[in-house]
Structure 1
Amino acid sequence: MKIVWSSCFLLISLISFAQNGGSDTRSLFKYTIQKTIVPIQLDGIAQENEWEAHDVTTNFYNHWPNDEGQAQNQTEVKITYDDNNLYILAKCYDKGERIIQSLVRDNDSDYWGSDNFSVAIDPVNTKQSGFMFGVTAGGAELEGSLTIEGSQTWMSENWDNRWASKTSQYDGYWLVEMEIPFKTLRYNANQRTWGINFIRGDKQNNAYTTWTQFPVNFNGVSMNYMGSLEWDQSPERAKGTFIFNPYVTSSSTRDYEEENQTETQLESDIGGEVKVALTSSLNLDLTLFPDFSNADVDQQVTNITRFSIFLPEQRNFFLENNDIFSNFGTYDIKPFFSRRIGIMEGEPIPIDFGGRLTGNLTQNLRIGVMNVQTRSTEEFAAQNYSVGAFQQKVLKRSVIKGLFINRQATSKTEELDYTRNAGLEFSYISENGKLNNTFMYHTSLTPQNYKDTHFYGLSGNYISKRFRTGWLLNVVGENYITELGINPRLENYNAQTEETIRLGYTLINPWVRYITFVKGENKKLNYHGLRTWNNLYLNSDGSFNEVENNVAYDFEYKNTARLNLIARYQKVDLLFPTELIGDDFTPIPIDDYSFFRFDLRYRADSRKTFVWNTNIGYGQFFNGTRMGAMLQGSFRLRPWGSFGLTYDFNDIRLAEGFGENKIHLMRFNGNISFSNKLFLSNVLQYNSQGDNFSAFSRLQWRYSPMSDLFLIYNENHDTTGLGIKNRSVVLKVTYWL
């Protein structure tokens, strides 16, 4: 507790220092929107009779890599609306040379790697949540939800909703028209001011420019530095508040490892989702028999740590507005992780129904309530999952957050089977966003009524243009059980007794970074800088458990290339015999280990037709050595095709008697864009550690807005004799009503 109170005192002393500075961009940058009297035709052409009556805003400012001065290639924007839609016209000037990486929609890396135009909107005008809509010069679309983590704004491209755009290209500029239905947005119908900003990606100059001017240490979609969209009259509540999105699937599957399954199983399923706008800012989502067959395939990874790893959520139902539930805890501990629902021991569990209510009850109060019911199987009982959360804005930008989680077995249980978690957090964010800190306290409850069920601590950072520092403190009781969350370090596996033992711990994680930005027209570098981050783990009694000290020097070049030099020192008091390279080898024994490692990472110019990057590292590894090498290359036939190959190799040689192992991970990605509505993606993965070779292929045709046809093929083999494990073919059709 002394550590906690000392840290609190230090942070309070910093608050007055961080309050000053930073301009109010919402009062400095304003656009007055007027209702159109001429119907807007979405064709990517700036018809004079459509747009001439509306004001134009321009004079975009440099934001990345330099936040000084006005943009070399300017952008002009006009906005209007009618009874149903918001319309945006952007004219993006350049020298006629554009980079269009792909036509695939909702591809984050390809989008930001192309010439693009984006609009970020805060319809509730609270600087807490919002939306982003963007289009590349080639017409590839990206939409996402905006959320606050610390003082930074982040976008999740997994939010999906109905809108439309058209682009056209000319010698000295390209045009984009956007049409965003009001029923896609969540807003206060009585409010006449929204937050808004425009972001332009100019990839020939490797630059990003914005309508408002603000520091480079905040990303372009920052909700704290938006301008204001002033309405000539309050937009009415959106019409058509009921949306039905049914689906039908037909599948052919066979599990060759299941002895009782001797032939292919043919199945057909129907289900769907309903979206109901209870108010203009509060939305109800319902799902019946959801199907996630069209979700992206998991990317295989190599794990040579002592703890479990967690793959990201890929299912849209859980991703939309997920931040209200998931934005708790720290990077090391997440009280709620939606992938725990509907997946048991890596196997999908059918979900019968689910519901989610999210949005703003008042200007400053945001809520989320979710309930999901899974079906019973031969191995697992049916489960009901309930999650509730709220965010109450206080002070200028700060937030009080609360979370409650309940997992309750609803079948096949002789005695009461449940776990419950509750937590309360206060996130302080200074007015200019440079300082933020979150204080948190969480607890868990199970039928066993354990003691030491707490998790508390703090996490924050101070960010200026050049100097950046952060801190984290986690204090975890040995019985803080998060069945619906992530807490990998709590559970320690004894490879000798084959037992899993829970051990509480304390994590202290300070980090510091200093960046030097390079100026001048003939510069080779955008910036270079030193950073260090350190992790100290203590046992629950305060004794030493593990420390990892890291120092790196980073270079980012003007041509988008990057170079990172990293040195690491690690010292571990190993408490249990541990398997690091597989259960075929003798576990390394209990002892104190210390070792050094050095890494070099390089990524070439991402604008080229052929792009490559590598990561090479060598050093000590417990009682042996480890050499790791990753090489990745991709070839682009812009904008219709990209083909990439990744090879990740680890050569681990432990002391004599404890084994050697060479771990291979290979992945091939082939993506073809027949148009900006028809896509084919293919993934081949070979993982010797997981004994799996997989093939995944998905054809997607967006035949109507938010309506898709998917054809998915998936099969898995072992890596020894390439014997087949399972195979499936799925045809899925969705329609937006």
Structure 2
Amino acid sequence: MSLNSRVLRALSVFFLSLLLPLSSLAQELAETSVPAQKRVRAVRVDTPPVIDGKLDEAVWQLAEPITDFHQIRPGNQTAPSEATEVYVLYDDDALYIGARMADREPGLIAAPVIRHGQGLGSDDRLVVILDPFNTRRTGYRFETNLNAVRHDALYTSVNSFQLEWNTIWDTATSTYDNGWIAELEIPFKSLPFDPSIDTWGFNFGRGIRRRGEEMAWVSYNRTYNPSISGVVTGLEGMNQGLGLDVVPSFSMNRDKQFDLRTSDTNMDPSLDVFYRLTPSLNAALTINTDFSATEVDNRQVNLTRFNLFFPEKRDFFLNDSDLFQFGGIGGFGGNSAESRGSRENARPYFSRKLGLSQTGAPVDIRYGGRISGRVGRWNIGTLAIRQDEFGTVDASDLLISRVSANVLRESSVGFILTDGDPASNLDNSVYGMDFRYLNTRLSGGQVLEADAWFQKSDTPGLNGDDEAYGLGLRSPNNTGLRGGVGFKEVQRNFNPAMGYINRSNIRDYTADVGYTHFFRDSFLQSAYFGVDAQRINVIDGGLQSQVLAFRLLELDTNTRDRISLGYQSNKEVVLRPFAVYRAPDRSVFIPAGSYSFDEASVSLSTAGQREFSGRLSLSNGDFYNGKRNNINGSLSWTQSRNFVMSMSYDWNDITLPQGDFITRLTSLSTQVAFSSTLYWVSLVQYDNLSEEIGVNTRIQWIPRAGQEGFIVLNYNLQDRDKNNSFEAASSDLAVKFKYTFRF
């Protein structure tokens, strides 16, 4: 047995020895380890406050102020540096939240972001978490900053959320002599809820970026999420109206192919209808679904023999996407030895398989329907669409159905079924079952997660060896010891036609263990060190891939700067040569064989609240039977809240006996905010593998939540002769406007 194999096995045994005692004692420790749940009563009002960011109306004085916030960083359960007061009101139509956030230096409040929907990780911000069903499993996250930017997210599990999700709500902010004020209005029509439940999961957070300070109303183990929250009581008699949203849209597209000297102009109406069958169960209908204003994918360079993973960005598929999550497969995870594609491998349902060809070209969706929501302890998600024909593939009917039941205190058991193949004329179906265990109430602030799942596919011509199954056990703690172990088997003929798969006929073993230490009274906030490992074996053979990632030291400062040192040991067994580099004039192949290669890295990143911020990563080492140097970095200039420019660059210099090559991937983005409702965002990308420059520029107008207008131009230039003489290849101009009628 090799040294790396022994290390991987030792990590798994060591971590299991730590977790098994915790698991056996979980129930005994649960009640004694968690502090009493905080509660606040929402006050019902007849006249709603005006959302103007002033907090000066008498109606706010009716609410009980929430003031007992505490630090979670850099301190833990310590007094915050500034006072925070939060007020909660409601009427028939909406929930109203007001916050007065003291700051002795209001001129230093960080607010570089002005565009709605953009992340606020570099801003001073207010965070609100709502769990309308009080299940402590999923929920909704609302954030705003001093510029009254709306940023929302959907929790797909307690430890991960879907940033692309959005709904209709409003906010306004202002400053005063000693801080800033935020007011939020969240319509009840924007959230599913059960009117018989008058107690919602509820939490608040606040960030002060220049001090690296995070505070919360309720936290545990330096974190807060739907499972770690207080409650708001007294919510009765809310009005969801008819529960009907009608969203017509109209787009005009002009597509031009310069090579073929062809152009095409289309004017397409589209309609989305959303109806609440019950207060907690939603139906959606889409006709001639329009994705013309969807953001473009960020380019990636693939130096492996396996498919890359690109996340979903289309709103229709993001709504209620948490209900379709299965087995804990995917997400960002905490094991750096795994690639994103490896973590996502064997997903039974991946929405990017719908409405897109295998090359990423859009495919029309004629119509579709979805039923999603919750009925008692049951979580339901069913999607059926009619996809248009493309190429040699006939029009197809596609179905995804997912049902799960909440069990125990924070866990669930479920079933999934998919039927149809969007990329061929063959039949295909997949069914699967999963159990997800969560316990956030262990002694010492520890958390325990576990997943077990099984899937089977049915494809004509593929008989036997068509199953996949997996197990996982994790303790994802933010402080002290953390880690996890996992196993996944994906058999040779397992074929989820509407899912994601990048390796089959494999057994995938993962293990990671690490320790986080938080400093006191220091400019350093925390230090982390650990080991992450992955080993993938061929089912009927030996090793395919192995990675040992030694995270030697990761230091974070209170101002959110970071330095990291790492060392990675790789093993790859290549059975058939594969092209690691393709260009019009030549290709470089990795020959069949067994390879061991190591790499050292150092990276530095600075916090985004500064005028200039960036990230730089340097790595050097072996690469298969050669050498690789890598430089990966980015630089952002926040000239003002109205103008931001960012540049990223990834450079690989690879030397192999079969041939040397260099890969370059660069992007330049600009954001111009004419106001809080009108933006101009551009992204230019180039890589020397495709020798293509892609330009995506979009003007977005949001007069108010639920109303959007777009002008989007995609323009591609190609260097066919590799002489830096770029010629126009294609262009696509789209103009789109949509309006939400809410009843």
Judge same fold: TM > 0.5, yes or no. yes
Alpha carbons of structure 1 residues 409 and 673: separation in structure 2 relative to 1, 3 Å: closer
Deviations 1:268-289, CA, capped at 9 Å, x for gaps: 1100211101111111121111
CA spacing shift, 1:409–1:626, aligned 2, 3 Å: closer
Contact 1:421 1:444 (C-alpha < 8 Å) held by counterparts: yes
Mark the CA change 1:324 to 1:214 in structure 2 (over 3 Å): closer, same or farther: same
1:726 matched residue in structure 2 = 730
Q: Check whether the contact 2:490–2:506 (CA below 8 A) recurs between aligned residues.
A: yes
Specify whether residues 586 and 204 from structure 1 end up closer, same or farther in structure 2 by C-alpha distance, changes over 3 A only: closer
2:484 aligned partner: 470
Compute the displacement of 1:405 (Å). 0.7
Partners of 1:23 and 1:653 in 2: CA distance = 59
Q: Which position in structure 1 is the counterpart of 2:308? A: 309
Report Cα offsets for 1:606-654 as digits up to 9, x if no partner: 2210112111111111111111111211100221111011111111111
Change (3 A) 1:83 1:562: same
Indicate conservation of the 8 Å contact 1:26/1:226, yes or no. Answer: no
The residue that corresponds to 2:251 in the other structure is 249
- Verify the 8 A CA contact 2:93 2:238 in the aligned structure 1: no
Structure 2: how far apart are the matches of 1:24 and 1:707? 47
Map residues 154-233 of structure 1 onto 2, 5 A cutoff.
154-216=160-222, 218=223, 220=224, 222-231=225-234
Q: State the 1:368 CA deviation.
A: 0.3
Q: Give the structure-1-normalised TM-score.
A: 0.91
Cα distance in 2 between the residues matched to 1:598 and 1:718? 35
Q: Does residue 647 of the first structure (1) align with residue 649 of the second (2)?
A: yes
* Matched-pair contact (CA < 8 Å) for 2:49–2:57: no
Match of 2:455 in 1: 442
Partners of 2:34 and 2:205 in 1: how far apart? 15
The answer to whether the aligner puts 1:59 opposite 2:33 as a matched pair is no
In the alignment, the residues of structure 2 paired with residue 340 and residue 443 of structure 1 have an alpha-carbon distance, to the nearest angstrom, of: 18
In the TM superposition, residue 48 of structure 1 has moved relative to its aligned partner by 3.9
Whether contact under 8 Å (2:652, 2:663) holds in the other structure is: yes
- What does residue range 4-43 of structure 1 map to in structure 2 within 5 Å? 14-19=22-27, 20=29, 27-43=36-52
Residue 689 of structure 2 corresponds to 689
Q: SS at the partner of 1:224? A: coil
Match in the other structure for 2:533: 534
Could you tell me which amino acid in structure 2 is paired with residue 448 of structure 1? G
- Contact 1:512/1:533 (<8 A) preserved: yes
Work out whether 1:393 is the aligned partner of 2:396.
no
Residue in structure 2 matched with residue 496 of structure 1 by the alignment? none
**CA deviations over 1:97-133 (Å, ceiling 9, x no partner):** 201011101112xx12111112100001111221122
- Residue of structure 2 equivalent to 1:501: none
1:458 aligns with 2:462: no
Structure 1 residue runs without a partner (length 5+): 491-503
Q: 1:729 to 1:471 in 2, by over 3 A?
A: same
Alignment correspondent of 1:493: none
Query: Over residues 676-705 of structure 1, what are the superposed CA-to-partner deviations in whole Å (9 max), with x where a residue is unaligned?
Result: 111110001111112321111000011232
Counterparts in 2 of 1:431 and 1:598: CA distance versus 1, 3 Å: closer
Query: What is aligned with 2:607?
Result: 605
Q: 2:471 is paired with a residue of what secondary structure? A: strand
Report the alpha carbon displacement of residue 369 of structure 1 after superposing the two structures with TM.
0.3
Q: Specify the SS of the correspondent of 2:23.
A: helix
1:6-405 to structure 2, matched below 5 A, reads 14-19=22-27, 20=29, 27-95=36-104, 96=106, 97-108=108-119, 111-148=120-157, 152-216=158-222, 218=223, 220=224, 222-231=225-234, 234-257=236-259, 259=260, 262-328=261-327, 329-330=329-330, 331-333=343-345, 334-346=347-359, 347-362=361-376, 364-405=377-418
Q: Is the 8 A contact 2:326 2:434 kept in 1?
A: no
Q: Is the Cα–Cα contact under 8 Å of residues 88 and 95 in structure 2 kept in the other structure?
A: yes
Distance of 1:12 and 1:60 partners within structure 2: 34
The whole-number CA distance in structure 2 between the counterparts of 1:348 and 1:638 is 36
Could you say if the C-alpha distance between residues 25 and 456 of structure 1 is closer, same or farther in structure 2, counting changes exceeding 3 Å? same
Asked whether the equivalents of residues 684 and 694 of structure 1 are also in contact (C-alpha less than 8 Å), the reply is yes
Q: Do 2:213 and 2:558's aligned partners in 1 also have CA atoms closer than 8 Å?
A: no
Letter in 2 for 1:461: R
1:667 and 1:256 mapped to 2: Cα distance?
24
Task: Name the residue aligned to 2:587.
Answer: 585
Residue type of the alignment partner of 2:82: N
CA contact (8 A) 1:102 1:641 kept: no
Moved more, 575-584 or 12-21: 12-21
Name the CA distance, whole Å, in 2 between partners of 1:683 and 1:45: 37
Q: Say if 1:115 and 1:695 are closer, same or farther in 2 by CA, change over 3 A.
A: same
**In 2, Cα distance between the equivalents of 1:726 and 1:26?**
60
Residue 155 of structure 1: how far off its partner (Å)? 2.3
Give the Å deviation of 1:524.
Answer: 2.3
Alignment partners' CA distance in 2, 1:689 and 1:725: 16
On the 8 A contact 1:67/1:213 being kept in 2, the answer is no
Cα distance change of structure 1 residues 190 and 703 upon mapping to structure 2, 3 Å threshold: same
SS at match of 1:441: strand
**Distance across 1 between alignment mates of 2:35 and 2:25:** 23
Output one character per residue of 1:434-460: Cα deviation in whole Å (capped at 9) or x when no partner. Answer: 111101111110112411111112012
Q: Is the 8 A contact 2:628 2:655 kept in 1?
A: yes
Aligned partner letter, 1:106:
G
SS at match of 1:717: strand
Structure 1 residues 138, 431: CA separation in 2 closer, same or farther (over 3 Å shift)? closer
What secondary structure is seen at the aligned counterpart in 2 of 1:607?
A: coil
Query: Which letter does structure 1 place at the counterpart of 2:617?
Result: N
For residues 585 and 164 of structure 1, the distance between their equivalents in structure 2, rounded to whole angstroms, comes to 54
CA RMSD in angstroms, aligned pairs only: 2.1
Tell me the distance in 1 between the aligned counterparts of 2:488 and 2:362: 32
User: How far has the Cα of 1:22 moved from its partner?
Assistant: 7.4
Deviations 1:11-56 (A, max 9, x none): 6654123442577879531111121133321111122422122211
- CA deviation digits over 1:559-582, x for unaligned, max 9? 211111110111222111121122
**CA separation of 1:715 and 1:484: change in aligned 2, threshold 3 A:** same
Deviation at 1:659, TM superposition (A): 1.1
Aligned length: 700
Separation in 2 of the partners of 1:408 and 1:301?
26
Residue of structure 2 in register with 1:545 after alignment: 544
Q: Give the superposition deviation at 1:212.
A: 1.4
Residues 557/266 of structure 1: CA separation in 2 closer, same or farther (3 Å cut): same
175-184 or 31-40, which moves further after superposition?
31-40
TM-superposed deviation, 1:485: 1.7
The change in CA–CA distance for 1:24 and 1:281 in structure 2 (over 3 A counts) is farther
- For 1:22 and 1:635, the matched residues in 2 are separated by 49
Distance apart, 1:586 and its partner CA: 4.8
The one-letter amino acid of 2:72's match is: H
Tell me the amino acid that sits aligned with residue 424 of structure 1.
M
CA distances 1:473-526 after superposition (whole Å, capped 9, x unpaired): 011111111222222122xxxxxxxxxxxxx11111100111111111xx1211
Residue 515 of structure 1 is matched in structure 2 by 516
Conserved in 2, the CA contact under 8 Å of 1:99 and 1:115?
Answer: yes
SS at match of 2:503: helix
| Structure 2 Cα separation of the partners of residues 382 and 639 of structure 1 | 47
Determine helix, strand or coil for the equivalent of 2:317.
helix
Determine the C-alpha separation between the residues in 1 that align with 2:403 and 2:450: 18
Q: Percent identity?
A: 23
CA contact (8 A) 2:194 2:279 kept: yes
Does the 8 Å contact 1:545/1:572 carry over to 2?
Answer: yes
Moved more, 126-135 or 39-48: 39-48
The one-letter code matched in structure 1 to 2:593 is D
The Cα shift of 1:546 comes to 2.5
Conserved in 2, the CA contact under 8 Å of 1:30 and 1:227?
Answer: yes
